[in-house]
Chains A and B, each alone.
Chain A
Amino acid sequence: MLTYLIRRVLYAIPIALSVGLVCFMLVHIAPGDPINAIVPADAPQELVDQIRRDYGLDKPLPIQFGIWLGRVVLGDLGTSLATGRPVWSDLSVAIVNTLRLAVTAALIGFVLGCVLGGLAGSFQGTVIDKLAVGLAVTGVSVPHYWLGMVMVILFSVTLNWLPAMGAGPGGSSDWAWDWQHVQHLILPAVTLSVIPMGIVTRTVRGIVAEILNQDFIQTLRGKGLTQRGIFLHVVKNAAPNTIAVIGLQLGYLMGGSILVETVFSWPGTGLLLNNAIFQRDLPVLQATILVLAMFFVALNLIVDLVQTALDPRIKRA
């Protein structure tokens, strides 16, 4: 298994490089001269020429990629066209905000999913099962940005229970886990959690049903194993796959939060991406996608390793 682990880690490196290549190419597939994508509108000609030299835009593409990669590795993610600030300063704040949102949403989805899936799997074929599955399917079928809009109208505007937008009274920079701030997190996190909830429910239901249907469970019961014992047994067997699923879902949430963050003006990477796209601020766009994709690669790696560690029976190519 150790060889597998090492191979897996090494394998992530070319993936990361290729991801970088795709991000790099984004600027070049955008219509127009790439120089317009990285130089502010009113830049004087000397500045344009200097940037052209710095980024090697007059050199062949592979060399440009090398230069870009070199900068990225050294931590220079470029300068925002719109604000003139270094991209990393805004991006680092946004990543933390999205992590807060995504982890909370993943936790909510995970807990709800396990409960619903467990209930459904334990009571297969009954009303409980159908209800739980119905909720799960609803979760993955509803357009979650629409759900977000509905929640804002209901809970903020009509009932006035929760705020409609933002990340706290002082902005996200003074985040604390107190009610003043957490109340801003509730609606977006719940909105974002419906898809993972649906998926985890289905996964857990499948696993639980399969395990409970196995003949040897009857044997165990016959031997006097308590409910609690069976429960533990189920959890142990379901854990690797479920953790894998929620781990991947966390990655999807990090990368896919743009719609919810737009509806709630949550100052995370999704909102940053949204602004960057419309402002044609390609350095910010490029850097944000790169960082999110890298995060996803790392997450995939961790999930693979954890899953293998928990259950070496899983066949690996």
Chain B
Amino acid sequence: MITRSMLAAASLAALIAAAPGAATAQGTIRIGMTAADIPLTHGQPDQGFEGNRFTGIPLYNALVEWDLTRGDRATPLRPGLALSWEVDAADRTKWVFRLRPGVKFHDGSDFNADAVVWNVRKVLDREAPQFDPRQVGVTATRMPTLRRAEKIDDLTVALYTAEPDSLLPINLTNLFMASPKHWEAKRAGAASAEAAWNAFAADPSGTGPFRMARFVPRERAEYVRNDAYWGDKAKADRIVLLPIPEANARTAALLSGQVDWIEAPAPDAVPQLRARGMRIESNTQPHVWPWQPCFVEGSPLADVRVRKAINLGIDREGLKTLLGGLMVPAIGTVQPGHPWWGNPSFRIRHDPAEARRLLAEAGYGPQRPLTIKVQISASGSGQMQPLPMNEFVQQNLKEIGVNVEFDVIEWNALFTNWRRGCRDASARGAHAINVSFAAMDPFFAMVRFWDSKMAPPTSNNWGFFSDPRFDAMVAEARQAFDPAARDAALAKLHAAGVDEALFIWIAHDVSPRAMSPRVRGFVQPQSWFVDLTLPYIQ
């Protein structure tokens, strides 16, 4: 029999359930990402580091990992699936990794040296059945010196590089270990290796702290805690990822309670977010938001005076106002005080008069105005607020007599073009490209841009910069296996890079995130990544 109180309770429950975005379970964190689609989930995510952040690290592990548990210091490395590693004293191209025992993939199979070799071959060995050309781009470009892996025993594996490279362990944070057995099971039921990887992406198996519970392409990915994880178990029960590329839609989703956490809120919305009780998390980041110039003949930015002039023409403090203070002006890849700063003599500041003088010296002026074309995106991982920011810089440069045209394309396309170079048709005649990058390790911060061997398709030297002096400095850093010596070599490299104005440095992001007050335990490290095992819903 239905009593009146039952009816009342039922209607109350219905009302509560009907409240938009009511979380369906305790301990479910719903996250709004800036990507337009779920980053690839087969082990090597696309969509830049936002991909690694949300579909790499939570589902998988790498041999070496970042320690993301604290935000008060620069993020160090820590053992991941490898307990220790060292370079062979006799042959410095050989690294030996001792693997963590007792680790199982989500599908139950064992993690061992065979799995490591298999994963190296998936991007480096064309003859391997698991070779996936689609995964090569994001992976190989981040570890260009790696050549092959060899099993020594079940828990020991050797990795070989083309030349001595002290940076290899850092690079390996990008190679995630996917389950070979699980893939082979998919391959048995698929028409091709490509179809197998697609099936694997829909039902992934890694060793990470979360398992995929549900995957709706383009709409959502749901993770559930991996209770059999080898490390510290996650506090949250479930994580839901939603792609919301539009800053306004993300902000509206948070304010209306549809999500608990959004990446990169619209800076103009921050005051209202705070007024509604949302928390804004941010921290210093090893992040650079630049224009990367094209150095090939015919590009106006091949002239160092033009590059310096453009650097001097930008009002970084004004840009900071545009972003509501959520930015640090960039006058180099790292900040003064960093071990790699090196004390360059070219002081980057806002000096329009000096900028005009340099431009005149380079032959540009009212009679012969300079027009440059920059390829940018409308959104994306680490791109901050690209349209207003770029428009602001465009306005700054107009004041020193430089006309800027934009070629606006989608983030993943821009990110792909970054690997193709300014000579490629995809650049569409752009003289500079606006792709933000992570600077937490020497390879990422400088080597991949300033080493002539890192030109496309090897890595991200998009502008084909080539200078033997810089190649020598990079080699010196690569071969310095002693940390202090390496830091000194990198400082020398950095100072030289700033003096040659090899980038148009504009901003450092502070990675703002907006969260509901119910999200507890979150730590924002000085890194592009976060540890999703720490937060939970109150």
- Please tell me whether chains A and B touch each other in their complex, using a CB distance cut-off of 8 A: yes
Q: Do B137 and A180 have beta carbons less than 8 Å apart?
A: no
**Contact A41:B18 (CB < 8 A) given known A156-B255, A166-B242:** no
Task: Select from chain B the residue with minimum beta-carbon distance to A168.
Answer: B219
Q: Do A40 and B252 have beta carbons less than 8 Å apart?
A: no
Q: Do B20 and A165 have beta carbons less than 8 Å apart?
A: no
At the interface, yes or no: B216 with Cβ under 8 Å from chain A?
yes
Task: Select from chain A the residue with minimum beta-carbon distance to B194.
Answer: A84
Q: Do B258 and A165 have beta carbons less than 8 Å apart?
A: yes
Task: Name the one of B198, B258, B378 contacting A166, with C-beta atoms under 8 angstroms.
Answer: B258
Q: Do A164 and B252 have beta carbons less than 8 Å apart?
A: yes
Residues B17-39 near A (CB distance < 8 A): 17-18, 20-21, 24, 36-37
Task: Select from chain A the residue with minimum beta-carbon distance to B269.
Answer: A157
Q: Do B249 and A164 have beta carbons less than 8 Å apart?
A: yes
Task: Name the one of A36, A170, A171, A172 contacting B425, with C-beta atoms under 8 angstroms.
Answer: A36
Complex alpha-carbon distance, A297 and B425, angstroms: 36
Complex alpha-carbon distance, A263 and B419, angstroms: 31
Q: Do A41 and B420 have beta carbons less than 8 Å apart?
A: yes
A284 to chain B, nearest CB (A): 11
Task: Select from chain B the residue with minimum beta-carbon distance to A44.
Answer: B133
Q: Do A267 and B21 have beta carbons less than 8 Å apart?
A: no
Interface segment among B76-84, B99-107, B405-413, B479-487: the answer is B405-413
Interface size classification for chain A: 35 or more
Q: Do B40 and A83 have beta carbons less than 8 Å apart?
A: yes
Task: Select from chain A the residue with minimum beta-carbon distance to B38.
Answer: A83
Interface segment among A85-93, A134-142, A230-238, A302-310: the answer is A85-93
Q: Do B410 and A280 have beta carbons less than 8 Å apart?
A: yes
Complex alpha-carbon distance, A258 and B285, angstroms: 36
Q: Do A43 and B133 have beta carbons less than 8 Å apart?
A: yes
How many residues does chain B have at the interface if contact means C-beta atoms less than 8 Å apart?
Answer: 49
Complex alpha-carbon distance, A86 and B21, angstroms: 32
Task: Select from chain B the residue with minimum beta-carbon distance to A160.
Answer: B256
**Chain B hits for A180, CB < 8 A:** 17-18
Q: Do B249 and A265 have beta carbons less than 8 Å apart?
A: yes
Complex alpha-carbon distance, A206 and B217, angstroms: 46
**Chain A hits for B136, CB < 8 A:** 42, 44
Q: Do A275 and B36 have beta carbons less than 8 Å apart?
A: yes
Task: Name the one of A32, A36, A163, A279 contacting B256, with C-beta atoms under 8 angstroms.
Answer: A163
Task: Name the one of A42, A173, A279 contacting B413, with C-beta atoms under 8 angstroms.
Answer: A279
Complex alpha-carbon distance, A179 and B18, angstroms: 7
Q: Do A164 and B253 have beta carbons less than 8 Å apart?
A: yes
Across the A-B interface, give the 6 residue pairs with the lowest CB-CB distance, nearest first.
A278-B410, A42-B137, A171-B216, A164-B252, A171-B219, A156-B256
Residue positions of A touching B, CB distance < 8 A:
31-33, 36, 40-44, 47, 79, 82-86, 89-90, 93-94, 149, 152-153, 156-157, 160-167, 169-173, 179-180, 183, 262-265, 267, 271-272, 275, 277-280
Given contacts A32-B426, A44-B133, A153-B252, list 7 more A-B pairs with CB under 8 A: A41-B419, A84-B197, A157-B256, A165-B249, A170-B216, A265-B246, A267-B219
